[in-house]
Amino acid sequence: MTKKLFSFLLRGALALMLSGTCIAAPAFADEALAKLSVGADPDFRPISFMGPDGALQGYDVDFATALAKHMGVPLNYEGMAWDGIIPALQADKINAITNIAITDARKAVVDFSQPIMKQSIIAVVKADSPNQSVSPDDLKKAKIGVMTGTSAAEALAAMPDLSPTTYNTVIDAYNDLLLGRIDVVAVESVNGSYLVESQFKGKLVVTSEPLTSSVTLNGVALRKGSDKPLAQVNEAINKMKADGTLKDISRKWFGNDTNVPE
């Protein structure tokens, strides 16, 4: 075999291999969802957590169940580490995150539905703390704790001269607060106040004013470019608002419906 013929055959083989690789990796297809596959943090009361029977329960479980029903599709709901939620969505291991804060950083990598929940960022301190009111300026002199990957963590990141200690769960942060390792925990109002009332009553308190004046909105996250699924999800959310389902779920878990956007 001559060198020219060998070179020609080699180039042809490489071209065929590259062509086969392209065929084997098709682009993401923008199609309506035939099933709702949701991933959620299994340790984020009252949004999603393991019940006594070992099954996931919480606000988000009820919301996802109702969303799938209004979409007319079956639901698969599974727990996974929060810091792996968006990567799992991007890798198509799940096709939705049904309750996640809408931020500019996340908008760059996922698509969001219309808002389903509104909340603020609050501060939690020990019940016997002399500082029952905490301002952003106070945080500069305090040891702060926050759960990683949350909108509370993003709010702190936007404040200058802060170096918070990060935790995998809010419970871990609250326990360190009780031990005196930190002075204050920044957390989303719905999750943070529920945990204080249900598990740390008399030990921790929510301060009188929120840490930020802005309201955080939560929505359903889908893969980037999911135009048809997004329309499908938004239509179902509109139905849930119209028939009172969203407010019913909120009242069940939070005792009120003030966190439901109009």
Omega prior to 164 cis, within 30 of 0? no
- Strand stretches in the chain, DSSP E: 36-40, 43-44, 48-50, 56-57, 75-79, 97-101, 110-112, 117-119, 121-126, 144-147, 165-167, 184-188, 204-206, 216-223
Query: What contacts 250, CB < 8 A, 6 or more positions away?
Result: 59, 117, 256, 257, 259, 260
Q: Taking the model in full, what pTM does it have?
A: 0.71
Which CATH homologous superfamily contains domain 121-206? Periplasmic binding protein-like II (3.40.190.10)
SS3 at position 36: strand
Sequence ranges of the domains in the chain: 36-118+218-254, 121-206
The tens-digit pLDDT sequence of the chain (262 residues) is 444 444 444 444 444 343 343 333 334 567 899 999 999 999 888 899 999 999 999 999 999 999 999 999 999 999 999 999 999 999 999 999 999 989 999 999 999 999 999 888 999 999 999 888 898 889 999 999 999 989 899 999 999 999 999 999 999 999 999 999 999 999 998 888 889 988 999 999 998 888 888 888 999 999 999 999 999 999 999 999 999 999 999 888 887 776 788 7
Q: Indicate the CATH number of 36-118+218-254 among 3.30.870.10, 3.30.70.580, 3.90.800.10, 3.40.190.10.
A: 3.40.190.10
